[in-house]
Structure 1
Amino acid sequence: MLTQIKAACLHSMTIAWSYCIALAGALASIVDDVADALGDPGLKDQISAAIGDVKITGRILLAISVVTIIARLRTLRRKD
């Protein structure tokens, strides 16, 4: 299983980290819907107090992840 994970990340810790950031961004983007589904409207307020607007934070994390992956793929391509 570890070899499959490494292959998906192209043997790059930078890409693996970008996947983690993308996951965090996606979760932050849907926290409103999850809080409503769980019936806990205070969850959104608690998270917003900690990190600010969760939708904007999620989108920023997704953008950072995409830029990081693109930059790393460019350097991987140059080595070949």
Structure 2
Amino acid sequence: MLARIKAVCLHSMTIAWSYCIALAGALASIIDDLADALGDPGVKDQISAAIGDVKTTGRILLAISVVTIIARLRTLRRIN
């Protein structure tokens, strides 16, 4: 299992971390819809008070993740 995860991440902790950031960004982007579906709109207000607009935060995290993956793949390509 661990070998499979390492292979997906190209044996790079930077790419693994970027996947984690992308997951957090995706979850932040859909938290509004999840809170409405669960019937607890107060969650959205609590999260907004803590980190600001959740959709914007999610998009920023996704953008950071994409830039990180692209940068790391460029360096991996130079090595090989």
TM tier, smaller: over 0.9
Report the alpha carbon displacement of residue 75 of structure 1 after superposing the two structures with TM.
Answer: 0.1
Aligned residues: CA RMSD: 0.2
Query: For residue 67 of structure 1, what is the aligned residue in structure 2?
Result: 67
Query: For residue 52 of structure 1, what is the aligned residue in structure 2?
Result: 52
TM-score, L = length of structure 1: 1.00
TM-score, L = length of structure 2: 1.00
Is 1:35 paired with 2:35? yes
Q: Give the percent of matched residue pairs that are identical in Structure 1 and Structure 2.
A: 89
The number of residues matched between the two structures is 80
CA distance in 2, matches of 1:9, 1:49: 34
Report the alpha carbon displacement of residue 45 of structure 1 after superposing the two structures with TM.
Answer: 0.2
Query: For residue 20 of structure 1, what is the aligned residue in structure 2?
Result: 20
Please list every run of 5 or more consecutive structure 1 residues that lacks an aligned counterpart in the other structure: none
